[in-house]
Amino acid sequence: MSEPFGTRLRRAMDERGPLCVGIDPHASLLADWGLNDDVAGLERFSRTVVEAVADRVAVIKPQSAFFERFGSRGVAVLERVVEETRAAGALVVMDAKRGDIGSTMAGYAEAFLRKDAPLFSDALTVSPYLGYGSLAPAVELARESGTGLFVLALTSNPEGPEVQHAVRADGRSVAATVLAHLAADNAGAEPLGSFGAVVGATVGDLSSYDLAINGPLLAPGVGAQGATPADLPAVFGSAVGNVVPNVSRGVLRHGPDVAALRAATAAFAGEIRAAVAGS
């Protein structure tokens, strides 16, 4: 049986720090890097990021949307990015935000979490808004293949609260319900469960939420969306040690120079380390 994602992630965070660098090849970034908005530009951009940082950060998060927009040739680039990232020692969290009825969810799970799949990743972002139970096939396959999930709970965008803060008949919010399901799926896991939540670093006061899910908290929003590493202790409180902060554009805007990408990554990593240590 494969070593669980949560165990591998904890080790990677301890060895390399918790920073996750996102690969988000926006058309505007390709232009800023002097690249064409085509498959060759996509490939050069993504593989430069892998070369610059995959040997030094715990996690790389490719944003599938920016590869899918080029069709099958873009997806082929994504396959190479996944392979090269893992070869360089970083874990891959595929940000594809999949979610569907259970029988279809099984197909999505096979696409990303089955060991011999071309896009086999260490973890996948998923949406629970067809009901957390619809994710069961992905939870089951993740357990089998030693992979993980990051379930959208409290997203970093301003539109999220209208759904996520909605209160159910039992008085509990939708997001709190997602967190409670994750805690149940992570019960008894050591040192960390494999089923994480996406909780934006921009969301502000989380004191009414129980973030003690015994799993990782993927925190987008640092950098371009306005949150800073210094905000993390106040937002996540005692759960800050399980936070995996994601920075995409905040690092990527320093390319295409590899040394500059590395310097930006090191600066974020240092600020995050200092913020977490001082909390």
For residue 135 the two structure tokens come to 């994710």
Do the Cβ atoms of 46 and 25 come closer than 8 Å?
Answer: yes
User: Cα Rg for the chain, rounded, in angstroms?
Assistant: 18
Cis geometry, peptide bond prior to residue 256 (ω within 30 degrees of 0): yes
What x-and-dash track marks residues 38-67 binding ligand LLZGTKA7 by CB under 6 A? -------------------------x----
Burial class from Cβ neighbours inside 10 Å (0-12, 13-18, 19+) for residue 127 reads: middle
- List the one residue from 225, 256, 272, 276 that touches ligand LLZGTKA7 (CB under 6 A): 225
Nearer to ligand LLZGTKA7, 53 or 146 (CB): 53
Give the active site residues: 97
CA end-to-end span of the chain, whole Å? 37
What x-and-dash track marks residues 123-162 binding ligand LLZGTKA7 by CB under 6 A? --------------------------------xxx-----
Three-state SS for 245? Answer: strand
- List the one residue from 82, 90, 183, 198 that touches ligand LLZGTKA7 (CB under 6 A): 198
Distance of closest approach, residue 3 Cβ to ligand LLZGTKA7, in angstroms? 26
For residue 27 the two structure tokens come to 């058309």
- List the one residue from 224, 258, 260, 266 that touches ligand LLZGTKA7 (CB under 6 A): 224
If binding means CB under 6 A, how many residues of this protein chain bind ligand LLZGTKA7? 19
Q: Segment contacting ligand LLZGTKA7 (CB under 6 A): 79-87, 175-183, 220-228, 270-278? A: 220-228
Residue with tokens 């990051």: 150
Q: Which residues contact 141 (CB under 8 A, 6 or more apart)?
A: 106, 109, 110, 113, 114, 147
Where do contacts with ligand LLZGTKA7 occur on this chain (CB under 6 A)?
22, 24, 63, 95, 155-157, 198, 200, 220-221, 223-225, 246-250
